[in-house]
């Protein structure tokens, strides 16, 4: 074998080793980081005492333009707007302007997270290609600035609008994460004392950040609704076949928070959420009394009970808690992070 041949083999050998070295040290780590890194891991700053820091960011690609298409159900029109402007309308529709600022900020972050999660995980769009709608039974309530001004006194409207605007602006881009992923940030009006574990309602499995916690409302919301037996039969006939004037109820079991989990109507089993929906009562935390031809439902709390209690958030704010404290109370084990620009 000639020296020239050996020299060529040696050169190729060195070149191959060099290429392998470059692949291991630079290319592969770059590919891995590009695919898996969603939240920047940077040193915490003093600003992160509340849980939100400049460098604690996440890259959510659901809304690259920052715009959403909103279906206005009453007019059946789709309007396009900036996400942050949309959130101001959500606050108008969802929470009273009299709420404490920290509660309004908590609602802004929750609503932003809820919106982005829905957009990122939605299987289908709304009518006319809309991303969200203003129906509270589907998405979130939404009201325009003009609607709000029409309902406020002229000498207060600018000050009230500034509260909503400041709550959104002060939390611009902030979202709630669990294990570096957006959470499904459900919320409701009043828990009745304890929030609900999502496994009893929409998920058969435990979701770690949607478990029961104290509602912290500071007062108990109660409501009473009465139906004649004929009215009840009409409301329940879609799910209870051959229902007549005589109606028998049997509560089969309760959830961990004390809400009705399953109820039998004339021997037909219904889950508590479906039963509540059919009757239009305030919550699944109820008891039943019969008085002559009337059936009376006494409810505690308002809404499904999952996630943040809006009334509880306001009470926590009154008690001196920050919006991050509020969020971390209602969503177990989460962090509040800022979206990357």
In contact, 62 and 77? CB cutoff 8 Å: no
3-state secondary structure of 324: helix
Q: Backbone dihedral region of 258: left (phi > 0), alpha (psi from -120 to 50 degrees) or beta?
A: left
Q: What integer pLDDT is reported at residue 210 of this predicted model?
A: 97
The first and second tokens of residue 69, run together, are: 């298409």
Average the pLDDT over each of 51-60, 143-152, 286-295, 318-327 and give the range with the smallest value. 51-60
C-alpha–C-alpha distance, residues 223 and 216, integer Å: 19
pLDDT at 239 over 50: yes
Is 194 or 11 the better-scoring residue by pLDDT?
A: 194
Is 245 or 323 the better-scoring residue by pLDDT?
A: 323
Distances (CA, A) of 113 to 109, 123, 184, 284: 6, 17, 7, 26
Name the pTM for this structure: 0.80
Q: What integer pLDDT is reported at residue 78 of this predicted model?
A: 93
The first and second tokens of residue 192, run together, are: 């009745």
pLDDT at 43 over 50: no
- Rg over alpha carbons for the chain, rounded to the nearest Å, is 27
C-alpha–C-alpha distance, residues 213 and 210, integer Å: 9
C-alpha–C-alpha distance, residues 123 and 139, integer Å: 14
Confidence of residue 50 (pLDDT cuts 50, 70, 90): very low
For residue 24, list its beta bridge partners: none
Mean pLDDT of all residues in 327-340: 94
Mean pLDDT of all residues in 16-37: 38
pLDDT at 39 over 60: no
Residue spans of the domains in the chain: they are 63-203+305-339, 222-300
Distances (CA, A) of 271 to 117, 181, 210, 264: 27, 30, 19, 9
3-state secondary structure of 276: helix
Torsion of CA 237, 240, 245, 247, to 10 degrees: -140
Mean pLDDT of all residues in 13-35: 40
- Chain segment 151-188, per-residue pLDDT in tens: 999 999 999 999 999 999 999 999 999 999 999 999 99
Confidence of residue 57 (pLDDT cuts 50, 70, 90): low
Q: What integer pLDDT is reported at residue 241 of this predicted model?
A: 84
Mean pLDDT of all residues in 76-105: 96
Mean pLDDT of the chain: 83
- Chain segment 262-289, per-residue pLDDT in tens: 999 999 999 999 999 999 999 999 999 9
In contact, 54 and 47? CB cutoff 8 Å: yes
C-alpha closest to that of 148 among 159, 161, 139: 161
For residue 39, list its beta bridge partners: 58
pLDDT at 14 over 70: no
């Amino acid at each position: 074998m000639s020296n020239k041949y050996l020299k060529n083999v040696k050169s190729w050998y060195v070149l191959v080793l060099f290429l392998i070295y470059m692949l291991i040290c630079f290319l592969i780590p770059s590919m891995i980081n590009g695919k898996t890194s969603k939240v920047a891991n940077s040193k915490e700053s003093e600003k992160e005492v509340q849980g939100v820091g400049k460098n604690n960011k996440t890259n959510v690609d659901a809304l690259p333009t920052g715009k959403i298409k909103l279906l206005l159900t009453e007019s059946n029109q789709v309007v396009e707007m900036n996400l942050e402007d949309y959130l101001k309308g959500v606050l108008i529709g969802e929470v009273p302007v009299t709420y404490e600022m920290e509660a309004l900020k908590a609602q802004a972050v929750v609503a932003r997270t809820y919106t982005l999660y829905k957009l990122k995980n939605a299987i289908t769009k709304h009518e006319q290609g809309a991303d969200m709608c203003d129906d509270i039974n589907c998405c979130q309530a939404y009201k325009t600035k003009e609607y709000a001004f029409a309902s406020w006194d002229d000498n207060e409207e600018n000050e009230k609008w500034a509260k909503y605007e400041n709550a959104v602006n002060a939390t611009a881009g902030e979202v709630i994460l669990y294990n570096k992923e957006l959470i499904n940030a459900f919320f409701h009006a009043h828990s009745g004392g304890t929030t609900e574990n999502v496994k009893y309602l929409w998920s058969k499995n435990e979701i770690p950040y949607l478990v029961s916690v104290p509602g912290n409302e500071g007062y108990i919301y109660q409501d009473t609704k009465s139906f004649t037996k004929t009215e009840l039969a009409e409301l329940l006939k879609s799910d209870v076949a051959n229902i007549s004037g005589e109606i028998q109820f049997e509560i089969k079991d309760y959830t961990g928070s004390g809400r009705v989990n399953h109820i039998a109507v004339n021997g037909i089993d219904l889950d508590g959420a479906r039963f509540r929906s059919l009757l239009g009562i305030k919550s699944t935390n109820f008891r039943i009394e019969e008085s002559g031809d009337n059936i009376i439902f006494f409810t505690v709390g308002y809404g499904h009970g999952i996630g943040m209690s809006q009334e509880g958030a306001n009470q926590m704010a009154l008690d001196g808690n920050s919006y991050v404290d509020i969020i971390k109370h209602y969503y177990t084990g989460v962090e509040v992070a800022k979206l990357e620009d």
